Amino acid sequence: MYQELENLHKECFPNKPWSSKDFEDLKKSGCDIIASQNGFIIWRVVADEAEIITIGVRPEFRKSGIASAMLILVENDVKKRGGKKIFLEVAENNIPARKLYESNGYKQIGIRPHYYDNIDALLLEKEI
């Protein structure tokens, strides 16, 4: 499974690939992972808050609702476990991801300057 995630991640983030060991460590640290042939999402629930660690969809399957569907699965899981809020960070210049989060009800609550090298990260939140 971790090797498949490594391959999937490389397709989604060619400039910053993660290794299968990175995924194994995330799992060991308490993260949850959903992965299919087309995409993956990783999140962590701590007390009544959750964080989306990352999400990706294979390029040829984008813009068909896969990421939105995965977000809904995660939101349902977080709700079931007593979570009230979901946080995430997105690069200011990542327009597809910003569009995804905006259309799924995530609101900007902060900014982390130069979070990704010289690019700002926007801190988003959704109350569920």
Ligand X SMILES: CC(C)(COP(=O)(O)OP(=O)(O)OC[C@H]1O[C@@H](n2cnc3c(N)ncnc32)[C@H](O)[C@@H]1OP(=O)(O)O)[C@@H](O)C(=O)NCCC(=O)NCCS
Applying CB under 6 A, the residues found at the interface with ligand X are 12-13, 54-57, 62-68, 90, 94-97, 99-100, 103
The residue annotated as part of the active site, out of 2, 75, 89, 106, is 89
Task: Give least dist CB 100 to ligand X, A.
Answer: 4
What is the layout of strands, in order, in the sheet containing 119-127?
Answer: 32-35, 39-46, 49-57, 85-91, 119-127, 107-116
Residue 35 C-beta: closest distance to ligand X, Å: 13
Is residue 101 part of the annotated active site? The answer reads yes
Which sign does the torsion angle of CA 95, 96, 97, 98 carry?
positive
Q: Are 90 and 122 in contact (CB under 8 A)?
A: yes
Active-site residue flag, 106: no
Smallest gap from Cβ 121 to ligand X, in A, equals: 9
Structure tokens at 46: 């701590």
Residues acting as catalytic residues? 89, 101
